[in-house]
Structure 1
Amino acid sequence: MERLQKVIAHAGIASRRKAEELILDGRVKVNGSVVKELGVKVGSSDKIEVNGIPLEGEEPVYFLLYKPRGVISSVSDDKGRKVVTDYFPHIEQRIYPVGRLDYDTSGVMLLTNDGEFANLLMHPSSEVEKVYVAKVKGVPSKEKLRTLERGVLLEDGKTAPAKVKLLSLDKKNETSIVELIIHEGRNRQVRRMFDAIGHPVLKLKRERYGTLNLHGLNAGESKELTPHEVKQLRVLAMKKRNK
């Protein structure tokens, strides 16, 4: 279920703000009844009309982007900085990112116009693994790595258990490369986890999202997901709910 104004916007009828005005003006019907409230949510089976014209839903599309560093995980930026949708100038559908990666973080990012799919992946119960490779300051001890594995107490609660592997270390420059696998998606979570053990992140990349990786892509390049890849992500996201 998604908010009515969001569905109208994704169908390309109007911006979300304009869609809200259309609703308030009584120019939108859902299943034959006029709707004038902005909080109404609709599903794929609901019949929506705008100015008496039935709303044709967009064909769902799914993309994987190798997000470069220095790019905002959004559809627009009030400071004029580059955003992830800038890499899809020829896509007619109104796509948006699933979750986010920090401005200074690179790697796997999903974009779609399928709100149900996006919400499924971002739901707290989702068990889709996210694999990060971090270059951190210093060399974490085995005990500190075990702390990451068991869960770190952050200001918004303790993190779920993680998988951690020390990939390499550079004694001369006093840095390490660490792989961290989590299934949560809190704001700046990986960076905050390493801060909590005293090893700040110098560089961060998301190498894998569920079954998807960056193989064959350079930074700034993208590919459309196959139906099988989309289905695999749905299955992973629903795994815990079906237990």
Structure 2
Amino acid sequence: MEVRLQKIIAGSGLASRRKAEEWIAAGRVTVNGKVVTELGTKVDPERAHIKVDGKHLSSAQPYVYLLLNKPKNVMSTLNDPGGRPTVKDYLRGISVRVFPVGRLDFDSEGLMLLTNHGDLAQTLLHPRYHVPKTYLIKVKQVVTDDHIRQLEQGVQLEDGMTGPAVVKKVKKAKLNSWLEITIREGRQHQVKRMMEAVGHPVLKLTRIKMGPLSLGDLGAGEFRYLTDREANALRELAEHKLATEEAAEKQVPRPKKRISRVGWARSKKAKVV
């Protein structure tokens, strides 16, 4: 069965489909010894000998998915110009180059996904797909039911109204409260700003869920590979989001072509005659 060349390259885990298209257009890909620059080219992956920059595609690294419990006071990037610790420091023994899917604040902790699957990462991060993320937070003072209703209905921030959140009380003390809050947006410092807006500054924030993934009992600074079931659930989530978006785009009606009054009158007159 023949498949588009860029799809085969992306499926190998070597790059995203968009990057594969750039490589093809730049003449960096050969099929059976011949340079291919046409993006619509289809080949049989079982028979074709595909090379990228002279290296056989079969030697490309497979997709890798890691779940890390980022500790507090660690950057969620791979490098930091200021010399602060980063998540890369906790990926000992990982030879494949993976990238964080999203970020957590320096003083926040919890679940982070890292992968070399570029297309999947882009889908999970895109604001239009609204992948749910759940946080366990400790806030100042006792949160009232009125404040929870505000969060669930949406809070006005300086960059606009937030979408509705799902909020659950976990426990409370005399001076603070613990909540679980789930949001589907990805604005910068969003949970902290939402809680500030209702008068309850965040004292501690831990991300415990992202889509189908859960932090579980993974210790701070520890990581693990996703199970096959978790990886499949992530791919299915991304595919569902993309399919839903494509279906919605197809249902958008095209604007009708306007007919001028003169043209309409002429056509009407012609019919009468």
Any conservation in 1 of the 2:135–2:206 contact (CA below 8 Å)? yes
Mapped to 2, the partners of 1:99 and 1:48 lie a distance apart of: 31
TM normalised by structure 2 equals 0.69
Counterpart-to-counterpart distance in 2, 1:48 and 1:182: 43
State the Cα deviation string for residues 139-180 of structure 1 (Å, max 9, x = none): 222111111101112222221111011222211xx1111110
* Corresponding residue pairs, total: 211
> Could you tell me which residue of structure 2 aligns to residue 191 of structure 1?
192
CA distance in 2, matches of 1:101, 1:156: 19
Cα offset, 1:119, TM superposition: 0.9
Aligned to 2:52: 49
SS at structure 1 position matched to 2:217:
coil
- Return the index of the structure with the highest Cα Rg: 2
Alpha-carbon separation, structure 2, partners of 1:48 and 1:75: 29
CA distance in 1, matches of 2:77, 2:192: 20
3-state DSSP class of the match of 1:109? strand
Letter of the structure 1 residue corresponding to residue 137 of structure 2: A
2:79 to 60, 73, 76: 76
- Whichever residue aligns with residue 225 of structure 1, its letter is L
Q: Does 1:168 align with 2:171?
A: yes
Partner of 1:3: none
Q: 2:29–2:52: 8 Å Cα contact kept in structure 1? A: yes
Judging changes above 3 Å, is the alpha-carbon distance between structure 1 residues 144 and 239 closer, same or farther for their aligned structure 2 residues?
farther
Unaligned runs of 5+ in 1: 1-6, 13-22, 35-44
In structure 2, the CA distance between the partners of 1:217 and 1:120, relative to structure 1 (3 Å rule), is: same
Structure 1 residues 232 and 199: CA distance shift in structure 2, 3 A: same
Give the direction of change, closer, same or farther, for the CA distance of 1:53–1:239 in structure 2 (3 Å limit): closer
Contact 2:72/2:106 (<8 A) preserved:
yes
Identity of aligned pairs, percent? 44
Query: Aligned Cα RMSD in Å?
Result: 2.7
Deviation per CA, 1:56-111: give whole Å up to 9, x if none: 53211000001110111111000111111211121111111000111111111100
Would you tell me which structure has more helix in proportion to its own residues?
A: 2
Measured in 1, the distance between the counterparts of 2:84 and 2:30 equals 38
C-alpha displacement of 1:114: 0.6
Q: Which runs of 5+ in 2 are unaligned?
A: 1-9, 16-22, 38-44, 245-273
Q: Distance in 1 between matches of 2:165 and 2:240?
A: 18
Give CA deviations for 1:98-133 in whole Å, capped at 9, x if unaligned: 001111111111000110111111122334321111
Matched residue SS, 2:206: strand
Equivalence for 2:254: none
- Larger relative contact order (Cα-Cα within 8 Å, sequence gap ≥ 6): 1
Which of 101, 105, 120 lines up with 1:102 in the alignment? 105
Alignment partners' CA distance in 2, 1:240 and 1:94:
26
Q: Contact 2:14/2:62 (CA < 8 Å) preserved in 1?
A: no
Per-residue CA deviation, residues 174-204 of structure 1 (Å, 9 max, x unaligned), is: 1111110112222111111111111110111
